Amino acid sequence: MEGLIASNGYTAGSLDLPIGSEQSSAETVTYGDVTGGVDPGMELFENLHASRDREIVAMRFGQEMTQCQIGEYLGISQMQVSRLLSRLLARLRKGMLAQQ
């Protein structure tokens, strides 16, 4: 019996389910209205990645450093630098083409 009850924990409910017994009220509050919120750490995380991306592009094209040199400076492998540059340049290219 306990196993059957515990298995119900794997069923996800909708965030649009109303809270409380007044489900037909005009001002129905749902779980989505009261769950979660803005995480201030996300903005910091995004800013750190954006500054690292700018730094990588500046080192590669401004200072004309090789991928190996950039990797040594950042403490990552040349392959990781190559992948980061590929993603960055693809994103920049897509953004520039979208503005035309």
pLDDT, mean of residues 4-33: 73
CATH of 41-99, one of 1.10.10, 1.10.3470, 1.10.238, 2.60.120: 1.10.10
* More reliable by pLDDT, 71 or 99: 71
Count other Cβ atoms within 10 Å, centred on residue 56: 21
State the Cα–Cα distance between residues 37 and 82, nearest whole angstrom: 35
Burial string for 65-90 (b: 16+ CB within 10 Å, else e) reads bebeebbeeeeeeeeebeebbeebee
pLDDT, mean of residues 8-14: 72
Q: Confidence band (pLDDT; 50, 70, 90) for 62?
A: very high
